[in-house]
Amino acid sequence: MFDLDKWQEIFITISKNKLRTFLTVFGIGWGIFMIIILLGAGKGLQNGVERDFSAWATNSGFFWSERTTISYAGFRPGRNVTFTNEDTEILRKKINGLSYLAPRNRLRGAGNNVIYNNKTGSFSVYGDFPGYSKIQLVDIAAGRFINDKDISDERKVAVIGRNIKDVLFEDEDPTGKYIKVNGINFLVVGLFDSRRTGEQADRDTQTIYLPFTTFQKAFNYGNRVGWYAYSVKPGYKVSEVEEAIIANLIKRHSIHPLDLDAIGSNNLEEEFAEISGLFTGINVFTWFVGISTLLAGVIGVSNIMLIIVKERTKEIGIRKALGATPGSIISLIIQESIFLTAIGGYVALVIGVAIIEFLAGVVPDDGFMGPPEVDIKVAAGALGLLIVGGALAGILPAKKAASVSPIEAIRVE
Amino acid sequence: MIKLEGIQKSYGLGKQKLHVLKGLDITIDKGEFVSIMGSSGSGKSTLLNILGILDKYDDGNYFLADTLIKNLSEKKAAYYRNRFLGFVFQSFNLLAFKNATENVALPLYYQKVSRRKRNDIALEYLDMVGLKDWATHMPSELSGGQKQRVAIARALISDPKVILADEPTGALDTKTSYDVMEIFKRVNDAGKTIVVVTHEHDIAAMTKRNIVLKDGFVVDEIMKSSELEVGSIES
C-alpha cells in the first residue's frame, strides 16, 4: 500500500543529510556496479571464446598419425604410421557412435598454387568429404559444398572461401568459373563465409575444398589419408569414441598398446568443457567479490540507519506517546533502509549496464574478448539481492527504534 | 475515569533502590480538571509516566476508563495511549517537518484514518484553538503559544478520555500561559477530563482540584468546586 506520510518522512530524513545519504547510497551502488561490470566483462571473455568455438561442432575431434616410439611386432620404433582409405572404411563400419568420419588431405608445398586468369595466390587446399562441413561449420554464401556425387564421380570441382574470391575474382561471381590448382583446372561450385570474424575469418576463408577422391587422384596421393576429423552421434561422448578409434587403429597398424604418441588426437568436447569450467570459476569469483562489496555497503547503510535512529530518538518517543505501535516504527525504518539500498543499487545497475552496452558497441569483435554483455536475469537477481540486503540492513536499527521508550517524549533537553 | 489503587514504583536495584511512589490512591472522575503539584523528587513525573502508560508500575492497580492498565504489551499500550489519552508536553513536541495540520492529524494516522479525512478533522480542531489561518505553517513559523495550541488540538483530535498535560505552560510567558489555560478550561467545560502536572501555583489555581505530592504520597488536596466529591486522601 502506498503510504504518502511514510514516504514524506523518508524523503525528509534523507534530504536532511544529503552528503551522508549520498555516501551510503554510493557504498551500495559500488557493490552492484562491481558485480555488473565484472559479470559483463566475464561474459565478454566467454563470448569471445565461444565465438572462436562457433566455427566448430563441439561434439567433434581429430586424430592424426605420428611416428611410433616403442618397438612392437617386429617393427622398430620411429616408423611412420600412415592412414589409408582402408582405415576409413573399417572405422566407419566398426566404430559405434560415429556421426561423420571425414578423412582429409592437405596439398603440400608453398608458393602461389592457385591461378585464375592472370591472378595468382597462395592458399590452403584440402581434399574433403561432404561430412566435413558438419564438423568445421561454414556458411555457404553461393552455390554449394562438396557433395556425394562429387566424391563418387571424382569431379574436378572446388568450393572456395570469401578471401580467395576477393583476391582472385574481386567483384566477379566465382561460381561456374575455372581455377587452376597446381596446374589442374577445377570448376568453382561454391563460395563460403566463416562463422568467425576479423583475422580468424580471413584465415578460415583462405581455403579451397576439393572432393577427397579427386584430390587423391589429381595430386598423386594414392590411397593415403592425412588425418581425420569426426563428429559423434547424440548420446555418445567424444572421448569414448576417440578411445575406440585409437584402440582399433593401434591394433591394425601394429602399434604397441602403450605407444600413446603414435596417434595424435584432439577433442573439442573436452576443450570446450574445460573452458566452460573456467568461466564457471570466473562467475563464482565475480559473485564472491560483488557480494562482499555489497555486504560492506549493506553494513554501511545499517550504520547510517543506526545514527538516524539515534538522532530521531525524541521524535520516535513522541510518536510512541501518540500511539505509534512498534510495528509501525519498524516498518518505517526498514522501508527507509530498503529505499536507500534500492536507489543506490538501481542507479548503479543502470550506469553499469549503460557502460557494458557502450563497451559492447566499441570492443572489436575479433580479439580475445567478445562483446561484454549483461544478462537481464542477472540484473534482476542483483536487484532482488539488494531488496533483501536493504531489509537486513534495516533490521538492527529498526529494532533499536522500536525499543525507544515513549518517556523520551517527556524528557526536556 | 482514573482510579489508582496502591500504586508503587521504584527505580534501581538493591541498596541503590529508590522508592518513588509508595502506594498512591487517587481517583479522578469524568469531567474533572485536576492539577498535580509537587516539588522536584515528589514523584509527580513518575506518576505522570504511569498515568500516560509511558512506564510500568511495580504494584497496585491503575484503571483508566474502567480498563485495567497493567502488564500491557507494547502494541496494546500504544493502542490505549492513542485511544484513551491526549498528551500536551512542556516543549510542545511538534514534529518539525510537518505543518500544523499534519501535526494535529498524527494520532489519527495511527488509527489508519485516510489522509484526506484526518486532515479535514485536524482543520476543525485547529479552528477550535483559533489557528485555522495557520494550518499550513510549519512549527518553526509559530510562536510558543501557537505551538502549544497546535499541541492541544493534537491531543484532542482522537477524542481521548483524558488529556494529560506535562508542565504545559513551562515554556511560555505569563500571558500566553493564561491563554493556554483558558483553552484547557473551555475544553473542560465541554466535558473533557484534564490532568495538568505543574509546579506553578497560579496555573494550579486555575484548575478545579489540586493534588499535592510529596515524597511519593498525596499530602494535600484542595477542592474548589462543591459539585465534586472529595477524593481519597493519603494512603
Instruction: Give the pLDDT score at A161.
Output: 94
A325–B115 CB contact, under 8 Å: no
With residues binned 3-state (H G I as helix, E B as strand, rest as coil), the percentages for chain A, rounded to 5, are 55, 20, 25
Question: CA of A337, closest CA in chain B: separation in Å?
Answer: 20
| Mutate: best of A314, A410, A412, partner B, most B CBs <10 A | A410
B184 touches chain A (CB under 8 A): no
Instruction: Give the pLDDT score at B235.
Output: 36
DSSP annotation of B160: -
Neighbours of A19 (CB within 10 A): 7
A322–B55 CB contact, under 8 Å: no
Domain locations in chain B as residue ranges:
30-58+74-223
Does residue B27 or residue B221 have the better pLDDT? B27
Q: Show the cell assigned to B167.
A: 508542565
Amino acid at the residue A282: I
Q: Give the tens place of pLDDT for each residue, B198-209.
A: 988 899 999 999
Nearest to A241 by CA among A211, A206, A268: A268
Question: CA of B227, closest CA in chain A: separation in Å?
Answer: 32
Distance, in Å, from the CA atom of B12 to the CA atom of A406, rounded to the nearest integer, reads: 19
Instruction: Give the pLDDT score at A160.
Output: 95
B87–A321 CB contact, under 8 Å: yes
Instruction: Give the pLDDT score at B234.
Output: 39
Chain B neighbors of A1, CB-CB under 8 A: none
pLDDT band for position B152 (cuts 50, 70, 90): very high
A328 touches chain B (CB under 8 A): yes
User: At A41, phi and psi to the nearest 5?
Assistant: -65, -45
Would you say A204 and A194 are in contact if contact means Cβ atoms under 8 Å apart? yes
Predicted confidence (pLDDT) at residue B86 exceeds the cutoff of 90: yes
Closest-CA residue of chain A to B84: A323
Chain B neighbors of A327, CB-CB under 8 A: 75
| Mutate: best of B91, B116, B162, partner A, most A CBs <10 A | B91
Q: Identify the helix (H) or strand (E) that includes residue B27.
A: strand B18-28
A325–B87 CB contact, under 8 Å: no
- A358 vs A182, A371, A384, B152, B189, CA distance in Å? 49, 10, 25, 60, 74
Place of cell 549493506: A298
Q: What is the pTM of this model?
A: 0.68
B235 touches chain A (CB under 8 A): no
Average pLDDT over residues B155-172: 93
Chain B neighbors of A318, CB-CB under 8 A: 89, 93, 95
Would you say A323 and B82 are in contact if contact means Cβ atoms under 8 Å apart? yes
A406–B81 CB contact, under 8 Å: yes
Give the closest of A321, A405, A410 to B81, CB-based.
Answer: A321
The tens-digit pLDDT sequence of chain A (413 residues) is 567 777 877 887 778 778 878 888 888 888 888 888 888 888 888 888 888 788 888 889 999 999 999 888 888 888 999 999 999 999 999 999 999 999 999 998 777 789 998 899 999 999 999 999 999 988 999 999 999 999 999 999 999 999 999 999 988 999 999 999 999 999 999 999 998 877 888 888 999 999 999 999 999 999 999 999 999 998 899 999 999 999 999 999 999 988 888 999 988 888 888 888 888 888 888 888 888 888 888 888 888 889 888 988 998 999 999 999 999 899 888 888 888 888 888 898 889 889 988 888 887 766 667 778 888 887 788 888 888 888 888 999 999 999 988 888 777 65
Instruction: Give the pLDDT score at A2.
Output: 65
pLDDT band for position B129 (cuts 50, 70, 90): very high
A11 touches chain B (CB under 8 A): no
Name residue A64's beta-bridge partners.
A227, A264
Chain B neighbors of A319, CB-CB under 8 A: 106, 110
pLDDT band for position B233 (cuts 50, 70, 90): very low
Would you say B69 and B53 are in contact if contact means Cβ atoms under 8 Å apart? yes
Question: CA of B224, closest CA in chain A: separation in Å?
Answer: 29
A1 touches chain B (CB under 8 A): no
Nearest to A341 by CA among A284, A303, A289, A285: A303
Beta strand B209-214 with B33-37 is parallel
pLDDT band for position B232 (cuts 50, 70, 90): very low
Distance, in Å, from the CA atom of B57 to the CA atom of B7, rounded to the nearest integer, reads: 7
Distance, in Å, from the CA atom of A128 to the CA atom of B209, rounded to the nearest integer, reads: 115
A9 touches chain B (CB under 8 A): yes
Cβ contacts of residue B118 below 8 Å, gap of 6+?
A: B105, B108, B109, B157
Distance, in Å, from the CA atom of A270 to the CA atom of A237, rounded to the nearest integer, reads: 10
Domain locations in chain A as residue ranges:
4-54+273-409, 108-218
Instruction: Give the pLDDT score at B230.
Output: 43
The predicted complex's ipTM stands at 0.89
Closest-CA residue of chain A to B82: A323
Amino acid at the residue A73: A
Nearest to A197 by CA among A411, A43, A64, A363: A363
Place of cell 569414441: A241
Instruction: Give the pLDDT score at A412.
Output: 67
Packed helices B144-156 and B115-128: angle between N→C axes, nearest 10 degrees:
120
CB contacts < 8 Å between A and B, how many?
Answer: 74
Question: CA of B79, closest CA in chain A: separation in Å?
Answer: 6
Q: Give the tens place of pLDDT for each residue, B10-62.
A: 887 777 788 888 888 999 999 999 999 988 878 888 899 999 999 999 999 99
Instruction: Give the pLDDT score at B226.
Output: 41
Question: CA of B183, closest CA in chain A: separation in Å?
Answer: 20
B30-58+74-223 placed in CATH 1.20.1260.10: no
Q: Give the tens place of pLDDT for each residue, B18-27.
A: 888 888 899 9
Would you say A335 and A10 are in contact if contact means Cβ atoms under 8 Å apart? yes
Predicted confidence (pLDDT) at residue B229 exceeds the cutoff of 50: no
B97–A319 CB contact, under 8 Å: no
Would you say B224 and B208 are in contact if contact means Cβ atoms under 8 Å apart? yes
Instruction: Give the pLDDT score at A294.
Output: 82
SS3 of B206, please? coil
Distance, in Å, from the CA atom of A210 to the CA atom of A114, rounded to the nearest integer, reads: 13
A362 touches chain B (CB under 8 A): no
A17 touches chain B (CB under 8 A): no
Q: Identify the helix (H) or strand (E) that includes residue B6.
A: strand B2-11
Cβ contacts of residue A57 below 8 Å, gap of 6+?
A: A134, A135, A136, A137, A231, A268
